[in-house]
Chains A and B, each alone.
Chain A
Amino acid sequence: MELTIDWYIGLSAILFSLGALGVLTRRNAIIVFMSIEMMLNAANLAFVAFARHLGDLDGQVLVFFVITVAAAEVAVGLALIVTIFRSKKSINIDEINLMKG
């Protein structure tokens, strides 16, 4: 069995769906974060697969960007979560609804 592009895309889609499901269902902010990371990496996987398939380096370059942005995002996001925890003594995102209209 040859590993065609379809398998990579299928794995990427499954990972993305799992990440999305995690974001929507979990209450713990850290886990939501991890789910987001998973979605990003799912996208990375798709980029790399397509880059390899099309013989074009652009997708791989983009993956580096995503990794960098994700690192930055994690840093800011964790900082936010730490701050929220300090004030709320909780990281349950259901309790954070200050933006309610």
Chain B
Amino acid sequence: MGIFGLAPLLLVFPLIGVLFNGLVGRRFVEYNRQTGEKWSGWFGSLMALSAFAIAVAMFFGLGAHEFHAETVVLFDWIHVGDFYVPWAMQIDTLSVTMMLVVTGVGSLIHIYAIGYMHGDPNFSRFFTYLNLFLFFMLILVSGNNYLMLFVGWEGVGLCSFLLIGFWFDRVNEKGETMNANAARKAFVANRVGDLAMILAMTLTFWTFKSLEFQPVFDSAVEMFESGHMVHFGAFEATLGGVLTAITALFLAGAAGKSAQIPLYVWLPDAMAGPTPVSALIHAATMVTSGIYLIVRSNVLFEIVRASEVVIPGINISSPDLVALTGAATAVFAGLIAFTQFDIKKVLAYSTVSQLGFMIAAVGMGAYVAGMFHLITHAFFKALLFLGSGSVIHGMEHGHHHLSHGHHDEHDTFDPQDMRTMGGLRHKMPTTFAVYMIGSLALAGIVPLAGFWSKDEILAHAGTNPGWIFTVVYWMLTVAAFCTAFYMGRQLKMTFFGKPRHAAAEHAEESSPLMTRPLMVLAALAVLGGLLNFPFFSESAYKAASEAHDYGINLALEHWLEHSIASFELSEEGIVHMPHTPTWIQFDVAIISTILAVVALLAAVFLVYRNRWQTADERDPLQSTPIWWMAVLPFDTLYMKGIIPLFNRLADFLGYKIDWDLWHNFVHERIIRDTFVGFANFASDVLDRQGVDGLVNGAGQLTRWLSGGLRMSQTGYARTYALSILLGTVALLAYFLWPVIF
């Protein structure tokens, strides 16, 4: 086992952090604010860094182990009948990739948060939650079975709930507890996806008699090859049909966690949490779990694709549905981002849109491209969020500087509203520089990280046959255009022009504790493309593959190949999966680059050329149909449609049906009152008059009869003697009658 024996430490370190900050951190901070914060924050960060170190060790361990997956069993979890699930970690190239991203980006964000959360009364609680999040996220990516993945899956949802609701006591002008509401909304929306996950897991277990990844995939392949039916209990179906159900349910689960249509609505609201949370959870790591899930289950998806089973009603297969959902979300969220004024909300919708890219990629079978975009996105979106946090911090600082003396303005000022910013490039030069890099990387400008990963997805969609791929290609291209446009708009509104609010004029650069992690992330956003650098021509690829030396090219693909089994299956000809081009597709690349540049320029120099002189100016797009996107769709449906309906249903069931009808009417009126009424009837009518009457009547009758009889009792001995005589005579007559006559 060797180095893999260290794997449990990956989970232990964050857990120690949770215990430290949860149990004693508060005391430290209360004892001495300055040093307490240092202890609490750095301890949490140190645990994250330690976990990162372990992840790095796993990385090298795998290299020394010829990339073979290794399972580290911790202990038994559930064992019921033939159902067995252990606590076990799967160390393979896919999980280690996720571990590195989670702990790497996570560590940087921990350090950043020490600066960002400075002065918060619940400083140590924040780090408790962050470490708890790391713990669950690492369970999610390292589990060797679906159930453990689900533990992490819901655990990160819990942390998301806690962190969105971190400032749970904040209320808006209407007195609504917006942060707590947003937290609850996130949890419930995620739970809708979790419903699908639970169903998928129960179905998976009965189909394959296991929930551990490897046995499930092995028996899926075996059943696919042998053509066996799925049979359990009295249930019977084809493998393709069952897997279609399972994969469609996985999609629903991923839609909840990775904020896809129609469950994306919670993610923009989740921006109510502190900004490091938005960066870590709602951009870089947690929201990508859905992509991880699908990549992990690649065998199941490819078997569905190969068995050509379609979902009844819509006539497309479940992987295609995944691709279309992702693409639709990418476009849709990209358009909504045009309409946002909150600096973080723009990034939130951008995240939804980019997650759509990844989902589309994995749905098309471009697993490596999806993972590649996941990694680069983690770099540049974390960078952008932390950058926006730095901007918000600067604005708050400027506002704080202003409002010495007059506090009345304090409540209405929103440090996140881009309309009050402007010209910040002079005030916050470092933030501006890194933000610029992040924006360009996101927009897909050569040679930053986003270009390479996004292009690989587009190339995959563009080069494979079939209408699905064509549709997805064009949708993603439009989405890419949108991305560049809204980032251009945001850059213009935030950093260029003149300050439109006194707070922006007095904004200051953030502390080095915050800017240094930004620089590291900026470097990663620049260099991230090297992870899976494509060949420049077919001939170069062929030469390299003949020489078996790919150099730095396609590093990620060769690394992940060891854990994405469907690649092997397609090489063996068992399944036929769409192929991602291994050399750069110049037509695709040129189109997307031109579109990105055009969109950026259009935003900055055309649409918003002379805009944003004052804070209350209207957006020129405000009168176009794009603006409706923000208000029309799903959120309205849920908030105005389903939720009031549910509330009314609950009130109806709770008060009208259960209480008024069942409790009061049926039980009190019908059953109880009938009984009481009957009891009264029985006591007043039946008993008083019936039973009593009967008894009394019997008495009366006896008295009347005995009154007659008593006449016979004269008391005279003679009478009795006579009656004896008569009796004797009568008896004699009776006995002698037959003798005489």
Residues in A lying within 8 Å of B, measured CB to CB: 20, 23-24, 32, 93-94, 96-101
Contact = CB atoms under 8 A, between A and B. Distances in A.
B712 interface: yes
Contacts of A99: 713, 715
Given A20-B725, A24-B725, A97 B718 contact: no
Interface residues of B, number: 13
Contact of B711 (A20, A32, A97, A101): A101
Interface in B698-726: 709-718, 721-722, 725
B428 to A, nearest CB: 126
A43 B722 CA distance: 18
Contacts of A32: 717
A60 to B, nearest CB: 24
Contacts of A24: 718, 721-722, 725
Given A24-B722, A93-B718, 16 more contacts: A23-B718, A23-B721, A24-B718, A24-B721, A24-B725, A93-B717, A96-B715, A96-B716, A97-B714, A97-B715, A98-B715, A100-B713, A100-B715, A101-B709, A101-B710, A101-B713
Nearest to B720: A99
Contacts of A96: 715-717
B717 to A, nearest CB: 5
Nearest to B710: A101
A94 B721 contact: no
Contacts of A93: 716-718
A-B interface, 9 closest residue pairs, ranked by CB to CB distance from nearest: A97-B715, A101-B713, A100-B715, A101-B710, A99-B715, A93-B717, A23-B721, A97-B716, A24-B718
15 contacts: A20-B725, A23-B718, A23-B721, A24-B718, A24-B722, A32-B717, A93-B717, A94-B716, A97-B714, A97-B715, A97-B716, A99-B713, A100-B713, A100-B715, A101-B710
Contacts of A23: 718, 721
Contact of A101 (B712, B718, B725): B712
A24 B717 CA distance: 9
Contacts of B721: 23-24
Interface string B602-620: 0000000000000000000
Interface in B397-432: none
Nearest to B722: A24
Contacts of A98: 715
Nearest to A23: B721
A20 B710 CA distance: 25
A96 B722 CA distance: 16
A5 to B, nearest CB: 18
A94 B718 CA distance: 8
Contacts of B714: 97, 100
A97 B711 CA distance: 13
Nearest to A97: B715
Nearest to B712: A101
Nearest to A27: B718
A12 B299 CA distance: 131
Interface string B677-717: 00000000000000000000000000000000111111111
A32 B717 CA distance: 10
Contacts of B716: 93-94, 96-97
A20 B725 CA distance: 8
A55 to B, nearest CB: 24
Nearest to A93: B717
B703 to A, nearest CB: 13
